[in-house]
């Protein structure tokens, strides 16, 4: 497997300033990113505690489960759970392990973005700005340090791209297999890897052998988990997929899903998206579809991901799209090159253009992060500390060890209280998703829909006002305010813990 040779253009501007920037700028970007991410180190979404609870149970020999001894496929990334479980098994705090690995993989993603861009653009100047745009991306900053699998998924996407530009299809399949165990959408990248493996094999007159090695590397990593999931859970699809989809196909919902995806991508990389679209259009006109496929095939995976999620019905969030944002950045810079060539723009002028673009991108992301992400981070952290945490400690101290709790958000509640949790969306307990189908949480509780699955000792309800569930069998224990439970929502929600009277 020969590596692709790298012939760099004469791209260093004749200036001591730019020589210094291109030599040491990457370190500066990573340091600024790290310091910024650490400012919201305490921001921990409820989903993180779901991962931590799974890791704790695995480390304690309770199997792949949120509720000890009851297997469930309630996480997106089993590989992330296993990494945290290894740390817990050797005596480390899984919370610290999750946070540390998260920031580490996010920082490595910035470095890897520059390396991939260097081979895609063959231009040290352009590749440096790939690190800048990724390192200052508001979504990467928002999710870095949360303890979720997002940064690892981003790193593995870039590792897959790195192996592809190095024309090593088997290694690309290996990293793609790891990606699939972090995000199931990784199979889309594997489809690209297979096609590229066939092309690489044709160049070396060994198509079937290259394709065989590529399949082998992927299957060795993925198949053991597939068998385990089928035997243990009866499915290879995480429970979160049915929980976060809008059900049957609806073209209106699909349009909203596509619009939400575009909003996420444009929200942090609007100018880059424009250059990507312009570059793709110009390359297609000047060089044809074959050139476009050869040079920018990974862009098709981004399009397929957005389209596939719209068809399947996934409610798109920045967390789910973040892993492909570096792909958009890298090929947006590639698009700038195509426009530079098409309009014969002198490189000195492109230096000025790039500086202006970088300022626009950094200002856009600073505004996005400061006006939308930071207020949510502050309010959400306060809600977790002032609402969920007191409820969790109360349950741990005042309920029976085998008490069952029904709630929408079960991560922190279950991790601290160590009680049996049933969640209404069905991420942990899929039977509850079916029981509440077509009903709001309040309707399902009023109609006792949960009784077809379990008879809980406690119920946690969320409502815009205090204690809205005034039912004879529910005795309110405490009501606490959560300032901003969802990103983009500004109205507080009141969570009430009820004791279920028998």
pLDDT at 1: 38
Tokens of 27: 């370190």
Residues 289 and 414 in one domain: no
Task: Answer whether residue 470 is part of any domain.
Answer: yes
At 352-367, the pLDDT tens digits run 999 999 999 999 999 9
Give the domain range for residue 179: 16-344
DSSP annotation of 391 reads: H
Element holding 71 (H helix, E strand): strand 70-71
Cβ–Cβ < 8 Å for 34, 107: yes
Q: Are strands 70-71 and 65-67 parallel, antiparallel or unpaired?
A: antiparallel
Residues 195 and 263 in one domain: yes
Task: Answer whether residue 364 is part of any domain.
Answer: no
At 135-172, the pLDDT tens digits run 999 999 999 999 999 999 999 999 999 999 999 999 99
Task: Answer whether residue 183 is part of any domain.
Answer: yes
What backbone torsions phi and psi does residue 421 show, to the nearest 5 degrees? -110, 135
Tokens of 427: 């991420």
Residues 210 and 78 in one domain: yes
CB within 8 Å of 415: residues ≥ 6 apart: 49, 52, 53, 56, 392
Domain end among 315, 344, 373: 344
CA nearest neighbour of 381 among 47, 46, 84, 51: 46
Element holding 278 (H helix, E strand): helix 251-296
Percent of the chain surpassing pLDDT 90: 75
Least confident stretch, 9-13, 156-160, 429-433 = 9-13
Could you give the C-alpha distances from 304 to 186, 307, 308, 424, 463, in angstroms and in order? Answer: 11, 5, 6, 31, 37
Task: Answer whether residue 2 is part of any domain.
Answer: no
Q: For 266-289, what is the mean pLDDT?
A: 95
CA nearest neighbour of 133 among 464, 363, 471, 407: 363
Tokens of 232: 């243990």
CA nearest neighbour of 488 among 148, 36, 142, 46: 142
Cβ–Cβ < 8 Å for 116, 165: yes
Task: Answer whether residue 151 is part of any domain.
Answer: yes
At 164-211, the pLDDT tens digits run 999 999 999 999 999 999 999 899 999 999 999 988 876 656 778 888
User: Considering its fold, how many domains does the chain have in total?
Assistant: 2
Cβ–Cβ < 8 Å for 51, 81: yes
Q: For 84-109, what is the mean pLDDT?
A: 96
The structure's pTM equals 0.93
* Distance in Å from the first CA to the final CA of the chain: 68
Task: Place 331 in a pLDDT band, splitting at 50, 70 and 90.
Answer: very high
Residues 191 and 325 in one domain: yes
Domain end among 327, 344, 361: 344
Residues 273 and 405 in one domain: no
Task: Please give the distance of CA 128 from its chain centroid, rounded to a whole number.
Answer: 24
**Backbone CA torsion sign across 342, 347, 352, 354:** positive
Task: Answer whether residue 3 is part of any domain.
Answer: no
Tokens of 259: 């619009």
Residues 180 and 63 in one domain: yes
Cβ–Cβ < 8 Å for 33, 107: yes
Residues 338 and 395 in one domain: no
Q: For 252-258, what is the mean pLDDT?
A: 78
Residues 340 and 385 in one domain: no
Residues 269 and 413 in one domain: no
DSSP annotation of 478 reads: E
Residues 478 and 388 in one domain: yes
Residues 301 and 416 in one domain: no
Could you give the C-alpha distances from 132 to 111, 123, 177, 278, 473, in angstroms and in order? Answer: 10, 15, 28, 21, 57
Q: Where do runs of H (alpha helix) occur along 122-203?
A: 124-135, 138-143, 150-165, 169-180, 186-203
pLDDT at 291: 93
Tokens of 233: 């859970």
Residues 153 and 267 in one domain: yes
CA 112/CA 135 separation, integer angstroms: 11
Q: For 107-130, what is the mean pLDDT?
A: 95
Task: Answer whether residue 11 is part of any domain.
Answer: no
Task: Answer whether residue 359 is part of any domain.
Answer: no
Q: For 20-44, what is the mean pLDDT?
A: 92
């Amino acid at each position: 497997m020969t590596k692709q040779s790298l012939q760099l253009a004469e791209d260093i501007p004749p200036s001591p300033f730019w020589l210094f920037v291109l030599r040491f700028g990457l370190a500066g970007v990573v340091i600024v990113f790290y310091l910024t991410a650490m400012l919201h180190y305490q921001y921990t979404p409820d989903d993180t505690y779901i991962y931590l609870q799974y890791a704790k149970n695995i480390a304690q020999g309770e199997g792949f489960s949120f509720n000890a001894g009851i297997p469930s496929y309630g996480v997106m990334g089993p590989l992330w759970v296993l990494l945290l479980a290894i740390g817990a098994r050797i005596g480390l705090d899984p919370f610290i392990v999750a946070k540390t690995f998260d920031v580490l993989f996010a920082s490595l993603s910035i470095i890897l973005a520059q390396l991939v861009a260097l081979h895609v653009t063959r231009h040290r100047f352009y590749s440096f700005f790939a690190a800048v745009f990724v390192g200052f991306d508001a979504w990467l900053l928002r999710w870095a340090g949360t303890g979720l699998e997002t940064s690892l998924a981003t790193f593995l996407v870039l590792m897959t791209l790195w192996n592809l530009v190095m024309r090593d299809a088997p290694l690309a399949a290996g990293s793609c297999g790891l990606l699939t165990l972090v995000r199931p959408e990784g199979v889309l990248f594997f489809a690209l890897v297979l096609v590229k493996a066939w092309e690489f094999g044709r160049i070396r007159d060994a198509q079937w052998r290259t394709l065989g090695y590529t399949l082998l590397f992927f299957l060795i990593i993925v198949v053991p988990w597939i068998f385990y999931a089928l035997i243990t859970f009866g499915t290879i699809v995480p429970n979160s997929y049915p929980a976060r989809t809008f059900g049957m196909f609806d073209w209106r919902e699909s349009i909203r899903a596509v619009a939400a995806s575009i909003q996420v991508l444009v929200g942090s990389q609007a100018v880059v998206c424009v250059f990507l679209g312009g570059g793709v259009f110009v390359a297609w006109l000047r060089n044809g579809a074959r050139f476009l496929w050869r040079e920018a095939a990974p862009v098709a995976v981004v399009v397929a991901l957005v389209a596939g999620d719209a068809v399947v019905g996934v409610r798109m969030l920045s967390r789910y799209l973040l892993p492909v944002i570096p792909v958009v950045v890298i090929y947006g810079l590639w698009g700038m090159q195509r426009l530079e060539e098409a309009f014969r723009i002198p490189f000195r002028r492109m230096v000025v253009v790039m500086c202006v673009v970088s300022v626009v991108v950094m200002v856009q992301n600073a505004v996005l992060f400061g006006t939308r992400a930071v207020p949510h981070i502050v309010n959400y952290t306060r809600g977790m500390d002032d609402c969920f945490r007191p409820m969790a400690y109360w349950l741990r101290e005042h309920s029976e060890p085998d008490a069952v709790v029904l709630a929408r958000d079960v991560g922190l509640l279950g991790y601290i209280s160590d009680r049996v949790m049933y969640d209404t969306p069905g991420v942990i307990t899929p039977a509850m998703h079916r029981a509440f189908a077509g009903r709001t949480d309040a309707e399902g509780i009023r109609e006792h829909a949960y009784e077809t699955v379990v008879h809980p000792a406690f119920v946690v309800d969320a409502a815009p006002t205090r204690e809205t569930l005034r039912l004879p069998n529910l005795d309110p224990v405490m009501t606490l305010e959560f300032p901003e439970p969802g990103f983009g929502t500004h109205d507080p929600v009141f969570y009430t813990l009820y004791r279920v009277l028998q």
